[in-house]
């Protein structure tokens, strides 16, 4: 599994709560969605990794993009299904990435916003390489990770229902190398602020 088991379990326990907290679209993500749609030419079938509560997929669909929603957390998959959306459980490190709707065709792009922070550093390149193998030549990639060094473990909630999240941080040079080595052409990496002192590295790349 690409993601720490306690992290997945934490999302399973609090999927609806997390989705509510993340419902508002950060301005930097909205900018990245516009750039991603422009790179797609305004249409296409996209694999979304880490759909969560579905905020980004809805925004992409409003712009004419067809999105396959997936998440490693069954809690999010069940939440999306209860809300009337098709969604699949998917671990991008180990599961078959082929699109059930068109298994013989590659995706036109990959959207992985603020989710690969939970992939261990030693697995990151493998995940990006597998995603490249599932994407057409020239197809765009969005991936965003936290800016920083090392990794962190954070805990939330009461002792009875505590949630534990493991996150991997990246610096631009290492991130650029890892993505390029995985078969992507890196166009731009933007440093974006979420909450105060919460910095993200937002990648715009295309399948080489």
Regarding the domain delimited by 5-207, which CATH topology (the fold level of the hierarchy) does it fall under? Rossmann fold (3.40.50)
> C-alpha distances in angstroms, 84 versus 20, 97, 173?
17, 22, 41
The pLDDT of residue 17:
79
In a 10 Å sphere around its CB, with 0-12 CB exposed, 13-18 middle and 19+ buried, how is residue 203 labelled? buried
Q: How large is the average pLDDT for residues 59-80?
A: 96
What does the pLDDT look like over 13-44, one tens digit per residue? 667 777 787 778 999 999 999 999 999 999 99
Residue-level pLDDT at 153: 75
CA-CA distance, 190 to 144, in Å (whole number)? 9
Tokens read off for 29: 């993500």
pTM of the model: 0.91
Strands 140-147 and 199-207: antiparallel
Q: Given a cut of 80, is residue 89 above it in pLDDT?
A: yes
Percent of the chain with pLDDT over 70: 87
Please give the pLDDT value at position 6. 57
> Domain extents for the chain?
5-207
The answer, yes or no, to whether residue 112 has pLDDT greater than 60, is yes
Is the pLDDT at 162 greater than 60, yes or no? no
């Amino acid at each position: 599994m690409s993601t720490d088991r306690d992290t997945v379990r934490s999302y399973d326990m609090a999927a609806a709560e997390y989705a509510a907290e993340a419902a508002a679209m950060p301005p930097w993500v909205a900018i990245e969605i516009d750039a991603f749609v422009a790179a797609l030419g305004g249409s296409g079938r996209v694999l979304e990794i880490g759909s969560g509560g579905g905020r980004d997929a809805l925004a992409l669909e409003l712009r004419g993009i067809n999105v396959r929603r997936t998440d490693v957390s069954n809690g999010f998959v069940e939440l999306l299904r209860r809300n009337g959306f098709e969604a699949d459980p998917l671990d991008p490190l180990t599961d078959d990435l082929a699109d059930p709707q068109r298994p013989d065709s590659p995706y036109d792009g990959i959207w992985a916003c603020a989710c690969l922070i939970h992939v261990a550093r030693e697995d990151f390149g493998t995940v990006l390489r597998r995603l490249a193998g599932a994407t057409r030549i020239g197809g765009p990639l969005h991936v965003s990770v936290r800016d920083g060094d090392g990794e962190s473990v954070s805990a939330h909630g009461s002792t009875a229902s505590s949630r534990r999240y493991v996150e991997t941080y990246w610096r631009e040079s290492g991130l650029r190398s890892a993505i390029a080595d995985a078969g992507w052409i890196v166009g731009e990496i933007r440093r974006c602020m979420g909450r105060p002192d919460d910095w993200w590295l937002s990648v715009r790349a295309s399948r080489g």
